[in-house]
Structure formats: C-alpha cells, structure tokens
Structure 1
C-alpha cells in the first residue's frame, strides 16, 4: 500500500516571489489600462509654468486613480514652441503650454491680447482673460480643434539693451531688438523707432553675445532665469506688453475622454493656473532686485515717457481693431463696459 503523498510547504522566498509576480502583473495591467497624456512645452523645467504643470500631472493622476497618466516634457524636449503647437494641433501630443505669439497668425483674434500698453497691472490683465474675452477666444480655439484650459502668467515684458539707457523715444531709434514671432509685437517696435527681428529663444543668448542683436524684451523672471544680465547692460521697466501662457489641448483627444475625466483635467488645469500666477507674481518682484544686484543698470520709465510710447503706437491699436475685431479690442481696453 502506497503511503499518502506528502508535500513540503513552498519555501518563503518562492511564496514571496510568486506574490511579487502577481503584484507586477496587476501593476502592468493597470499601466496598460491607463491613458497616457503627453504634455510638452518650451519653458525650462524650473520655470513657474513648468513647475505648475508638474502639479497638473500629480492632480490628474491622483484624481483619476491612475486611469490617466501624464507625461511632462519641458525645456523643448519634444521640439521648439512652434513644434509643440503643430504637435498638439495634429494630436501627436495631448497638450502644450505656450505664449500666444506662436498662435496669433492662425488665430488673429489673439492679437487683441497683444495691444501695447493695454494693461495697467496683472490684475487688470487677468480680469480680461478670465472674463468674456477669454470665453470668446476659447470659441476661436475650439473652431481650430483646440481646447483652451486657462491662462497662466508670462508677465509684463521689459526691455534690455547694450547701447544706452532708454529715457526717450529717440533712444529706441534704430535699436536692433529681438522679439517673438508676432506681427503686432513687431509693428509695435517699428512704431517706436526700433529695428525688430524675430529670433527663437534658444538662439537668443548667442545672438546677444555676438552682437547680432543689441536688445531683447522678456519678463524680469525670464531675463534672470536665462542669465541675459551677462550679455545685456541696461534694463527698463517698459511693460510694453503683458504676456500670457496658454494651456491648450487637442480637442479630439480631450473630447475622447469620459466626462468625469474631462472634469478632472479642467480642474487640475485651473489649480495649476492659480498656483502659477501666485508664484509668477512673486518671482517678477524678486527678479528685478536680483538683476540689479547682478549689475544691470536699471532705468525706470517715467509716466511722461510711457505716454509718449502710447501715442507712438496708437496706429498699432487701430490695426489690431481691423485684425481682431473692434468689439473684442474694446472688451480688452474697457472690460467693464457694456
């Protein structure tokens, strides 16, 4: 008679390995089910907008219980700003965060946000984009297959140069200044007597260093972050434009999300926008102090000179009315109007 079969218990390390294998399988299944949202931008990883997008990633992944996975590509890892616009338009990436200048040629109504000297301060600027102007622009983006998820702050743009302090309109005459590729921006500096040229931000430091251009304009925080103080001497708080950062998603991909997922993305974007605005305002104030401490010669713009700037660029405002529409321009310049 055969003795009953006797089975030794599996050693603990075999049982543990089996448990790990099961956990890994479940994790792999979860990852396979998770939808990946690729998000790309041209700002450095430590810029306030890029930091805010990391918050966006965390909020989306947490609120969706891992159903949505967000992959952030900052610092031009997936190409230039123009590349990112093309990628989100085609749907090869889900979302980008980008200045309006790179979209103004395809959405002319965006030019209304580029009216020179339009906003007294950031609060005035945000009242405009958070109101009916922002709603109108969202409709224009939707018609182009894009979802507008919010406006971050890039900030008031300031002028730096290597030639002289800016104390009058005459000091701008012939000044070769780098600008973003925006028709209204270029027209504004031509009206001020300067010689504007569009150069990609990644090439700007070298252009300033070599003398290919004599001047540039950016928010204080960007000037500090990109160390333009090493290749520029004079700093002026011209605040000629207030610039935003648009959060844009591919509409087809966004509409493909379930309603509850769309809500998660919208809420995470709103939280990222709020956090970034608070950080950007603080950084803007700190940057001007640091730039002065680094040795830049700061030349404040007098109210009388600012009035001269406005008079010189009135023709640009008229051209924006023709391009973007008088009603939209009036809503920007008089947000409290009828």
Structure 2
C-alpha cells in the first residue's frame, strides 16, 4: 500500500471513530390526555432513560391517541410497529384474559390494598402471562377506582341501576358485573363517549374521577356517585422482541426509569383523584354517596361474576387476588 492510500485509510478510520453513534428512538403511544398524570409520568420516564443511557436510547411518547386508540396501540405493540404503550388493563385483557383477575367487582377496599396485590405474587404471574403474548411489563400505574355518572337519577339503591345504558371498557368481567346489577352495559371506545352522552345514546358512563374531569364529562352528565366498583391499573408494557434485543444495561435503565415514574404517578394520581371529585361537584354535578348496606348488596349480586370468571381463566389466580386483598 503506498503512502497516499495509507493516509486515506487512516483518515477514513479517524472519521468513523469520530462519528457519534446515532441514538435509537423507541416510540410509545397512549390514549390518555396530555395533562393526565400517566402521560406526565411517561415524559419523566423518557427523560430518565435518556440520562441513564447517555442519550443512546430516546423515548418518543405520543399521548392523546396520536397513534390511534387503545385497541390500535395494543396491536401496534404486539406486532412491533411501536415499542410500547401505557394503557388501562381492560384493553389488554382481550389478549391476556388473566388480567381480568385484578378487575374483580368490589374487591379492594382502598388503593393501598390494590397495589399490595399487583406489586406481589399476582403481578409476577401477570407479567409471565404478558410475556407469553409478546409483552414486557415495566410497571403498573394507577387508573383508579371507577365511579358511575348518569343523566337519569341519583344512585342511592340497587334498583337505581336498573335499565341504565352505561358505557364500559371492553372487559367481559366489567360488562357482566353491570348486567348482574340490572344495568344495560355498552362497550364503547373512550373517544366516542362524550358525543354519545351528549346525544342521549348513553345514560351514563363509569371512570375514575380524574378521567371524568379530564374528559369533561361533567358538561354532559348530572349525577355522580362513589360506587368504587372496580380499581383499575394502567400497565406500561413494551414489545418483548425489541426489549430482548437491548443490552442488559439498557434493559436495566428502562426498568429503573419506569419504577421511578410509576412511583411518582401513583402519588400524583391519589392527589388528583380527591381534587377531581371536588372540581366535578363545583362544576354542578350532584354527588351521592353509596351507603355501606347498598354496597354490600351490590357485592352479593356480583359474586356470580367471579365464579363465572373462574371458568374462563385459572381459578388459582383469582383465589390469590381475593386472598391477598382480604389480608
């Protein structure tokens, strides 16, 4: 090799060495509004990942259904079109039916109990089931206790549910629960709910207070209750194939960043839940508390829903949820 070629080769090697590696961008889509605590937590997650990996990994988040609705996001993650999503577990339950075990009616007396369940053996079992379907669970945020609103009457007794057309998520346990108490449940995407309430296609809907407020349902609903019939989680899940291709250090960075973001979101969600209920009442909604005896009757009426679910998924998972929730 002559001197000229040697210099060219050396220069080329120097240029290659000096060229910085391009960061890998991982897209995460969600259906929660930008201002929701879970969307803010994902922003924190992205910042922490970038810092921990010195910019080698970048999380690009797309809240507020920018990449499609909840069902689309689940399909996109499963097929690898996007890296991940943060989503109410009901939308994952069609793919991983075992998730219905943590959506039992009237199972949790408070959020502390709900998180004790998901952070223990039950969460480990569900993470394994998610992995079997191509997902890696990075954390469980709070969606919250769900409460009914409607435009027909205050809910003070069991009979007040009779015939109400209530929008629910696409979760069979949720739908069966409302059939059991005499309502007429309707599965519908969240993007359609406001107009359906406004036009009278629906009598009501059920959501945590923070979602009722962020979706501005107080504009088209009159009555608000504290049914607390389900406690819902938001799962942060990513595509397993893509996650497994990352280095061990990058995987650790993602898990640690997710843990920090989840802890922040849970605390924030608890504060927002209380504040949102007050804001809904201030906006003119009529609030009615459900008496303890009525809640007991509702629990009795929905007990067969739990028995039926044991015919569809491993009953041991359900028994573990109920046991840990009771202790």
What TM-score bracket applies, with the shorter chain setting the length? over 0.9
Indicate if the aligned counterparts of 1:110 and 1:324 stay in contact, CA closer than 8 A.
Answer: no
- Take 1:29 and 1:278, find their aligned partners in 2: how far apart are those partners? 43
Equivalent position to 1:204, from 190, 193, 211? 193
User: Unpaired runs of 5+ in structure 2?
Assistant: 1-14
- What is residue 46 of structure 2 aligned with on the other side? 57
Q: Does 2:283 correspond to 1:294?
A: yes
Shift of 1:163: 0.5
Indicate if the aligned counterparts of 2:107 and 2:325 stay in contact, CA closer than 8 A.
Answer: no
- What is residue 10 of structure 2 aligned with on the other side? none
Counterparts of residues 77-156 of structure 1 (less than 5 Å): 77-156=66-145
SS of equivalent to 1:36: strand
Q: Does 2:65 correspond to 1:76?
A: yes
Shift of 1:34: 0.8
Larger Rg: 1
Q: Does 2:320 correspond to 1:303?
A: no
Q: Does 2:209 correspond to 1:220?
A: yes
- Take 2:51 and 2:222, find their aligned partners in 1: how far apart are those partners? 46
- Take 2:212 and 2:170, find their aligned partners in 1: how far apart are those partners? 18
- Take 1:336 and 1:129, find their aligned partners in 2: how far apart are those partners? 10
SS of equivalent to 1:174: coil
- What is residue 169 of structure 2 aligned with on the other side? 180
SS of equivalent to 1:322: coil
Indicate if the aligned counterparts of 2:76 and 2:82 stay in contact, CA closer than 8 A.
Answer: yes
Equivalent position to 1:334, from 319, 323, 326? 323
Equivalent position to 1:277, from 257, 266, 270? 266
- What is residue 16 of structure 1 aligned with on the other side? none
Indicate if the aligned counterparts of 1:180 and 1:198 stay in contact, CA closer than 8 A.
Answer: yes
Q: Does 2:256 correspond to 1:267?
A: yes
Shift of 1:324: 2.5
Q: Once superposed, what is the RMSD of the aligned Cα atoms?
A: 1.6
Indicate if the aligned counterparts of 2:114 and 2:325 stay in contact, CA closer than 8 A.
Answer: no
SS of equivalent to 1:335: helix
Indicate if the aligned counterparts of 2:157 and 2:290 stay in contact, CA closer than 8 A.
Answer: no
Counterparts of residues 227-246 of structure 1 (less than 5 Å): 227-246=216-235
SS of equivalent to 1:291: helix
Indicate if the aligned counterparts of 1:159 and 1:238 stay in contact, CA closer than 8 A.
Answer: yes
Shift of 1:29: 4.8
- Take 1:246 and 1:330, find their aligned partners in 2: how far apart are those partners? 22
Equivalent residues, number: 312
Q: Does 2:303 correspond to 1:314?
A: yes
SS of equivalent to 1:334: helix
- What is residue 4 of structure 1 aligned with on the other side? none
- Structure 2 length-normalised TM: 0.93
Shift of 1:337: 8.4
Indicate if the aligned counterparts of 1:39 and 1:72 stay in contact, CA closer than 8 A.
Answer: yes
* Regions of 4+ moved over 2 Å: none
